[in-house]
Amino acid sequence: MQQITEFPKNTDDTTLNRAELIRFLSDAVEFCHGKATVGRLQAAESDSTRLSYMRALAQMSTPLLAALRDNDLEAINKRLDEIEARQQGGKE
């Protein structure tokens, strides 16, 4: 798991896609699972900070996933409108 040491700058106006967000969340789940299932539980000094960041990631993911879903639905509706317009044009 690659450790992020500073907040990445979005310089090219791109947004996270669903696959990237799922990968981030999967990494967080894998880390938490590893901590919870280890034979002897020992908390590192950085664990509470890391878990705070993971909670923030999970909270930020909800509206981001909703926005991605809305964008997908808009694209689907646009394609459907185009298909329906073509079908209407062919019937005349």
- Only one residue has tokens 């694209």, namely 75
User: What per-residue confidence (pLDDT) applies to 2?
Assistant: 59
Helix axes 18-37, 47-91, angle to 10 degrees: 150
- The span from the CA of 5 to the CA of 49, in Å, is 13
The rounded Cα 63 to chain-centroid distance in angstroms is: 9
The model's pTM is 0.54
Q: Is 5 among the domain residues? A: no
Containing structural domain, residue 59: 18-91
Number of folded domains in the chain?
A: 1
pLDDT digits (tens, 9 = 90+) for 23-67: 888 888 888 888 777 777 677 788 888 788 888 888 888 888 888
Please, which pLDDT band fits residue 77 given cuts at 50, 70 and 90?
very high
> Greatest CA separation found in the chain?
74
Whose structure tokens read 């298909």? 83
